[in-house]
A and B are shown apart, each in its own frame.
Chain A
Amino acid sequence: EAQVTQNPRYLITVTGKKLTVTCSQNMNHEYMSWYRQDPGLGLRQIYYSMNVEVTDKGDVPEGYKVSRKEKRNFPLILESPSPNQTSLYFCASSPFQPGTSVPDTQYFGPGTRLTVL
Chain B
Amino acid sequence: RKEVEQDPGPFNVPEGATVAFNCTYSNSASQSFFWYRQDCRKEPKLLMSVYSSGNEDGRFTAQLNRASQYISLLIRDSKLSDSATYLCVVNPLDSSASKIIFGSGTRLSIRP
A residues near B (Cβ < 8 Å) are 31, 33, 35, 37, 40-45, 48, 50, 56, 58-59, 88, 90, 97, 100-106, 108-111
Give, as a whole number of angstroms, the nearest-CB distance from A39 to chain B: 10
- The answer on a CB contact under 8 Å between B43 and A42 is no
- Most B Cβ at <10 Å: residue of A44, A100, A106, A111: A106
- The answer on a CB contact under 8 Å between A101 and B43 is no
Cβ contacts B63-107/A at 8 Å (1 or 0 each) = 000000000000000000000000101011111001111111100
Residues on the B chain within 8 Å of A106, using CB: 34, 36, 44, 46, 89, 100
B residues near A (Cβ < 8 Å) are 8, 31-32, 34, 36, 41-46, 49, 87, 89, 91-95, 98-105
What CA separation (Å) do A99 and B112 show in the bound complex?
A: 46
- The answer on a CB contact under 8 Å between A100 and B94 is yes
User: Nearest A residue to B95 by beta-carbon distance?
Assistant: A101
- The answer on a CB contact under 8 Å between B100 and A110 is no
- Most B Cβ at <10 Å: residue of A43, A110, A111: A43
User: Nearest B residue to A4 by beta-carbon distance?
Assistant: B43
What CA separation (Å) do A5 and B93 show in the bound complex?
A: 28
- The answer on a CB contact under 8 Å between A102 and B105 is no
